[in-house]
Chain A
Amino acid sequence: MIYYVGSFGLIIIGLYIVLTKRNLIKVIIGLDLFETGIFLLLICTGYVKGGTAPIFSNAKLTSALMVDPVPQALVLTAIVIGVATLALALSLAIRLYHHYGTLDLRKIRELKW
């Protein structure tokens, strides 16, 4: 249960940062936090109380005593996607800094209406 609270907390903190912060790098960090919270949420859904790693390492292990491996696979995929997005975001931020000279989101507003 605590893990769900923690994951929602991370999500909300991440969203808060994206919504309110002015510095682009902070927004990207917020984005990363938001995604981390979601990964945590995903993992939580596969949690079995007292379960162990889903590997048949011991002959007496049954599937009821293991945590669910599917969310772990999902999260791995999602982390990779997140890394790609983050890398793209940071490289775009560098180019943006070249063009505008600032990372303040209030000033990067040439395209509007």
Chain B
Amino acid sequence: MFYPNALFGNLLIVAFGSAFLTYVLGKISQSLRNGFAIIISLVLVLMVAGLYGLGKEIVYFRFFDYPLLLRINALSWFFAITITVLSTLSIIFSLSYMRDTPQLDFYYLMMLLVNASMLGIVLAGDLISFYVFWEIMSWSIFLLVSYNKGPALAAGLKYIVISLVGSLCMLVGILSLYTHCGTFDISQLAVLIASAPHGYIVFILLMFCIAFGIKNGIMPLHTWVPSAYSESPSPFTAVLSGILAKMGTFGFLMIFYILLGWRVFLYLGQGVLSFHYILCIIAAITIVIPNFIAVLQDDAKKLLAWSSIGQCGYILLGIAFGTSLGLAGGIFHFFNHAIFKALLFLAIGAVEFRTNGVRDLNSLGGLVNKMPVTFMATLVGACGLIGIPLTNGFVSKWLIYKTLILKGSPFLAFAALLGTWGSFLAIYKLLHNVFLGQPSETHKNIKSAPFTMQIAMAILSIATIVFGIFPGLALNIINSIGISLGFESLDVNLWGIASETGTLNTINIFGAIVVFMFIVYIIFRTGAKSVLVPQDDSYAAGSYIPEGKYHYTVDFYNPFLRMVRPWLKDRIDQFYYWISSTSEKLAELVRRIYTGDLGYYVIYIILFLAVLIFTQLIWKPW
């Protein structure tokens, strides 16, 4: 019924055209625009789903008479489906979140434009298309991050300047590849680059890694992430952390395995100094430090943002490590992180919506009774983040740990473990401070989250658990991606992966947990009745219990933080700040050349002439 070729050729046109159409419709009627946005996002999901299993490329445009290609294969399809589904859920969420904000047409235009450009990136078959869509995505993100005004402006500016550095590095890399090999086509480049000298390959890799590392939030290129994530509107933050940052992951996959091929990539350099191992070490640092900085945060979204940076380290670790298990773990963790991080950001967004914009963890609390669905969603997301069995995070983390231990990298494995501890501390702080404890006076009467928000969160929670119990659903596709990139196949079935040193069989885990919970239930039922106690009945050692509430969440983890805080100053951010303030001072100095005095100006003219003549007379360079 659906002709895959027609779908493929028109996908981008539909995506981009619908963005502008939404803007125009918004001028006519609000609800028309909202409905159209949702319908078109769903249409895009269906279109991408219809492309399953397709593997072809088409020429769709000529730029300066270079043909621009669109290519779809298993990897692109996987990313594309994640992009469209997550984007749809975000737009559903935005229906109620963004109800009363100004400039809504612009918001929907930008959300759909971001969606379309991300589709363009994963479907690009040559480097010019890749770059063009990458840049369109970049400036769309800039406009959306600045959407909230106020402190968001500084966050947006920081983001776009850092992103511009990355993009220009990538441009140099792309054009250097062109001048070396004569083509922009990725598949042709893959053949031609294999014969290039290693130093040149490292240079190209460096250029691309800077660009993708900036987008992905790898240290030390991560400084734009906390401020940008926390200041952008929450549904967009879900998209931003869920998939936009993963465009960097897609880029890494493309440059490491499609362009260079694993044979070249894994053998650059020797032993500990090999390129991919250094990347693993950087990824390990990215796992450890940001997860602990997340614990220090008092702003809910900043906490999640730092935690995102940490999780991206896992993804890079899995990808760069170079084994098929690692690759599967990395790609699956990208998918899982998209799901549970988006879930977490949407949940915090719901809390923010109902409390009129409060994100400060020290003033929230006790919302579990008022917003039960949101609490369940956060709980599921937190479980996914930590990697509790039966959630999808567990499977992907298992894969990564497995490959680290199998290949004998104890330090990396320990770093990954440290990261898990840190993320556990951080996410528990979030969960406790927002939902548990006593509700504050101002937030006593908030309502539960609106229906559309609940739908989005519910779908994502279900996805977290489903992919935890039946990971094979995704692992099949990931396995085919791995095979297409030249790795050996994994033994995947619906409930897990078999490997040499033990099988992951989630159905066994599921069965074990069900049995265990049944036993616990029996014990509770037949044991003593539980007593209901009012929440503010605290032990005060005989003295009077003061009025008002105890908020147990201020200065959460204080002893631990006191120990850890001196180690976790954000020196990298200070370094970048120092660069920008120095350039501002330099700019002030340069301004003073133009003094306003006419005599100086004419002196400049005569000086220039004199310099020209004297250098010729004395050194005769010309």
Contact = CB atoms under 8 A, between A and B. Distances in A.
B602 A109 contact: no
Interface in B591-613: 591-592, 594-599, 602-603, 606
A113 B596 contact: yes
B598 A105 contact: yes
Contact of B606 (A19, A110, A112, A113): A19
A106 interface: yes
Contact of B596 (A18, A19, A27, A110): A110
Contact of B602 (A19, A108, A110, A113): A19
Interface residues of A, number: 13
Contacts of A106: 597
Contacts of B595: 109, 112-113
A108 B603 CA distance: 17
Interface string A98-113: 0000000110111111
A109 B598 CA distance: 8
- Taking each of B591, B594, B596, B603, which has the highest tally of chain A beta carbons within 10 Å of its own beta carbon? B596
Contacts of B597: 105-106, 109, 112
B592 A113 contact: yes
Contacts of A18: 599, 602
A58 interface: no
A71 B599 CA distance: 32
Contacts of A20: 599
Contacts of A78: none
A111 B596 contact: yes
A15 B606 contact: yes
Majority secondary structure of chain A interface residues (helix, strand, loop or mixed): loop
B599 A105 contact: yes
A112 B599 contact: no
A110 to B, nearest CB: 7
Contacts of A15: 602, 606
Contacts of A105: 597-599
Interface in B566-622: 591-592, 594-599, 602-603, 606
Interface in A66-113: 105-106, 108-113
B594 to A, nearest CB: 6
A111 B596 CA distance: 6
Contacts of B591: 113
A86 to B, nearest CB: 17
A19 B599 contact: yes
Interface in A17-51: 18-20, 27
B603 A112 contact: no
Nearest to A31: B602
Contacts of A111: 596
A42 to B, nearest CB: 18
Contacts of A19: 599, 602-603, 606
A105 B603 CA distance: 14
B593 to A, nearest CB: 9
Nearest to B594: A113
B521 to A, nearest CB: 77
A112 B602 contact: no
A109 B601 CA distance: 12
Given A15-B606, A19-B603, A19-B606, A27 B592 contact: no
A112 B594 contact: yes
A27 B602 CA distance: 11
Contacts of B603: 19
Contacts of A112: 594-597
A15 to B, nearest CB: 7
- Taking each of A27, A108, A113, which has the highest tally of chain B beta carbons within 10 Å of its own beta carbon? A113
A108 B565 CA distance: 57
A57 B591 CA distance: 62
Contacts of A113: 591-592, 594-596
B586 to A, nearest CB: 14
Given A15-B606, A19-B603, A19-B606, A27 B598 contact: yes
Nearest to B593: A113
A97 to B, nearest CB: 15
Contacts of B594: 112-113
Interface string B113-128: 0000000000000000
A108 B601 CA distance: 14
A15 B597 CA distance: 16
Contacts of B592: 113
Nearest to B591: A113
Contacts of A110: 596
B162 to A, nearest CB: 28
A76 B596 CA distance: 34
B596 A109 contact: yes
A108 B591 CA distance: 18
Contacts of A108: 598
A113 B570 CA distance: 36
Nearest to B588: A113
Nearest to B590: A113
Nearest to A24: B598
A111 B591 CA distance: 12
Nearest to A22: B599
A59 B594 CA distance: 61
Nearest to B596: A112
A35 to B, nearest CB: 14
A27 B517 CA distance: 97
Contacts of B596: 109-113
Nearest to A110: B596
Nearest to A15: B606
A18 B603 CA distance: 9
A99 to B, nearest CB: 15
Contacts of A27: 598
Nearest to B598: A105
A111 B598 CA distance: 11
A105 B599 CA distance: 8
B207 to A, nearest CB: 37
Closest 3 pairs between A and B when the two form their complex, measured CB to CB: A112-B596, A109-B596, A113-B591
Interface of B: 591-592, 594-599, 602-603, 606
Interface of A: 15, 18-20, 27, 105-106, 108-113
16 contacts: A15-B602, A15-B606, A18-B599, A18-B602, A19-B603, A20-B599, A27-B598, A105-B599, A106-B597, A109-B596, A110-B596, A112-B594, A112-B595, A112-B597, A113-B591, A113-B592
Given A19-B603, A105-B598, 14 more contacts: A18-B602, A19-B599, A20-B599, A27-B598, A105-B599, A108-B598, A109-B596, A109-B597, A110-B596, A112-B594, A112-B596, A113-B594, A113-B595, A113-B596
